[in-house]
Amino acid sequence: MALHFGCCPSELDKEQVLDYLQYLKNLHKTPSESYFKHTVYGLRALYKLYGLEDKHFVLPSIREPKKLPVVLSQSEVKRLISAPKLLKHRMLIALSYDCGLRRGELLNLEVKDIDFDRKMLHIRQGKGRKDRYVPVGDLTLRGLKTYLETENPTLYLFYRRTAQGEVVRYSASAVRFVLNQAKKHAGLQKHVTSHTLRHSYATHLLEMGLDIVSLRDALGHSSIETTMMYLHISRIGRQTTFSPLDRVYEYALNPKK
């Protein structure tokens, strides 16, 4: 920007900055989103550095591209859960999927949050600092009972011991490691994160007949519009798109059909 105008960007007025941002967007048919983003963020940092936040206009926000999330098939979920050798890691993956947990919600789980009698999991202070209950399946509860008997956690459900013998909860990096190792051993090519399991949970529940409002409550979404994203992923509602090539060859092989 300094080379383009021949002066420091802090000296530019509103129209000049807008013209340059528009110039970047029109520079190519497919302008680099990353380059444009860092230009905007760089300007914000420059204005803050020079104390010009009030003097200069608010720079336009950058709209995130609308991408549909990665979703695992049911068979891929089974392979992922079965991949780890440690029961702790299998339960971490199974519980994340079976309850549609965010990673932070998983890490904050304590032993007392499991209600075996009601078959519910108490999510404390989830996103938006809201509590909620989600149902837990019989298979997961059975695995949790075995896990509690063998590992005997006293506070956090998923924990580790430090070199000094201190008990601390699992970290975000530990969860990433568990999922990456499970993905590798399961032979999956898809990108797998905690949110991939959450997306798969939501999609599979819709496909199994759960209504969108109940799904919103289970996921802890504030807005139904956020939950409705999964309607674009799940194979429900309108007739599933079929392959015309399959239909052509199906007719050729069986003309009476």
Q: Backbone dihedral region of 182: left (phi > 0), alpha (psi from -120 to 50 degrees) or beta? A: alpha
Distance from C-alpha of 76 to C-alpha of 188, rounded to nearest angstrom: 7
Reading the block at residue 136, the tokens are 């837990």
| Backbone dihedral angles phi then psi of residue 161, each to the nearest 5 degrees | -105, 135
In one-letter notation, the amino acid at residue 14 is: K
Q: What amino acid is encoded at 158 in this protein?
A: F
- Tokens describing residue 113: 């949050």
The answer to whether the beta carbons of residues 179 and 69 sit under 8 Å apart is no
Q: CA angle, 191 as apex, 93 and 182 as ends, to 5°?
A: 40
Residue 167: DSSP 8-state: E
* Residues acting as catalytic residues: 102, 127, 195, 198, 221, 230
Beta bridge partners of 122: 133
Cross-strand bridge partners of residue 168: 160
H-helix segments, 27-107:
33-49, 74-82, 87-99, 103-107
Q: Extract long-range pairs of 228-231: CB within 8 Å, 24+ residues apart.
A: 229/68, 229/69, 230/199, 230/202, 230/203, 230/206, 231/206
